[in-house]
């Protein structure tokens, strides 16, 4: 009789432990900060896709060379914008593509005039990718020569500005390469013209690319992939530029 009591008591304790463990696992799974990006690793990538400028993962760049103090300070400030994007340095990941998923496009109109400090038509003259300070993120900078200014009285045709966006193409010392992308976003190509919607960064006297449209062969192509931007796909160039100007004026 005593043996049966021990047996029932053990089963009760064991069952209680199982329930507590399950509850704990569910609680951990349910906790996920909304502001944190989700990381997705892919085993395959589209070799025809353009992933932006290249950064050498192991090279010592401006981040570690204080010869020009102001340039060094500025580069470090920019590199800190993209820290802690991955849970560990990017070299630790064996995937062929590293993707960050955020809700960046939610609530964004196809022509984000109000959200932009600057709206321009310009040609991308140069592009360079950089690592974040902790090597968990990648961002690219583009030198844009302005052809036309739609919004911002401080800029003129012929001026240049620096526009940045998260993403780029990583090259490791082993020869392995890995694109770093943000879901739904693309990076502009050097030598191509774009209407860019830009937000001024708090530091660095440069701008963040909100979205954009490539102007090619008198037609318009959205830079980014979400369906909302396709409303202007294949628009006539002059009609599109007139629509942008009209939206800014309104």
Q: Are 72 and 62 in contact (CB under 8 A)?
A: yes
Nearest to 98 by CA among 116, 86, 107, 88: 86
Q: What is the pLDDT of residue 77?
A: 85
Q: What is the pLDDT of residue 59?
A: 79
Residue labelled with tokens 């010392």: 173
The pLDDT averaged over each successive group of 10 residues in the chain (250 residues) is 47 52 35 46 68 91 62 84 94 92 96 98 98 95 98 95 97 95 97 98 89 96 98 97 96
Q: What is the pLDDT of residue 35?
A: 37
Q: What is the pLDDT of residue 27?
A: 32
Q: What is the pLDDT of residue 72?
A: 80
| Predicted structure pTM score | 0.81
Q: What is the CA 200 to chain-centroid distance, rounded?
A: 16
Residue labelled with tokens 């593509």: 97
Q: What is the CA 237 to chain-centroid distance, rounded?
A: 27
Q: What is the CA 146 to chain-centroid distance, rounded?
A: 23
How many whole angstroms separate alpha carbon 173 and alpha carbon 56?
Answer: 8
Pairing state between β 54-56 and 168-171: parallel
Per-residue pLDDT tens over the stretch 78-94? 888 999 999 999 999 98
How many whole angstroms separate alpha carbon 100 and alpha carbon 183?
Answer: 6
Q: What is the pLDDT of residue 113?
A: 98
- Topology adopted by domain 37-249: OB fold (Dihydrolipoamide Acetyltransferase, E2P) (2.40.50)
How many whole angstroms separate alpha carbon 188 and alpha carbon 51?
Answer: 9
Q: What is the CA 186 to chain-centroid distance, rounded?
A: 8
Q: What is the pLDDT of residue 38?
A: 65
> What 3-state class would DSSP assign to 246?
helix
């Amino acid at each position: 009789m005593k043996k049966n009591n021990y047996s029932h008591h053990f089963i009760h304790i064991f069952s209680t432990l199982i329930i507590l463990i399950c509850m704990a696992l569910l609680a951990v799974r349910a906790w996920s900060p909304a502001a944190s990006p989700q990381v997705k690793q892919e085993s395959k990538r589209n070799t025809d896709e353009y992933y932006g400028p290249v950064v050498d993962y192991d090279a010592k760049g401006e981040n570690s060379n204080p010869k020009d103090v102001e340039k060094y300070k500025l580069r470090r400030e920019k590199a800190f914008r993209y820290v802690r994007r991955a849970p560990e340095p990017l070299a630790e990941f064996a995937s062929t593509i590293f993707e960050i998923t955020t809700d960046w496009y939610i609530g964004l109109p196809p022509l984000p005039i109000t959200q932009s400090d600057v709206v321009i038509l310009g040609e991308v003259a140069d592009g360079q990718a950089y690592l974040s300070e902790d090597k968990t993120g990648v961002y690219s900078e583009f030198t844009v020569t302005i052809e036309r200014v739609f919004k911002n009285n401080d800029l003129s045709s012929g001026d240049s500005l620096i526009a940045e966006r998260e993403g780029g193409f990583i090259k490791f010392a082993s020869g392995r390469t890995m694109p770093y992308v943000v879901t739904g976003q693309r990076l502009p190509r050097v030598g191509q013209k774009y209407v860019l919607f830009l937000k001024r960064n708090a530091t660095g006297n440069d701008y963040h690319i909100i979205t954009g449209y490539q102007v090619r062969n008198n037609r318009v192509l959205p830079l980014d992939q979400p369906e909302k931007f396709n409303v202007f796909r294949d628009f006539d160039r002059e009609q599109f530029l007139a629509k942008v100007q009209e939206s800014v004026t309104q």
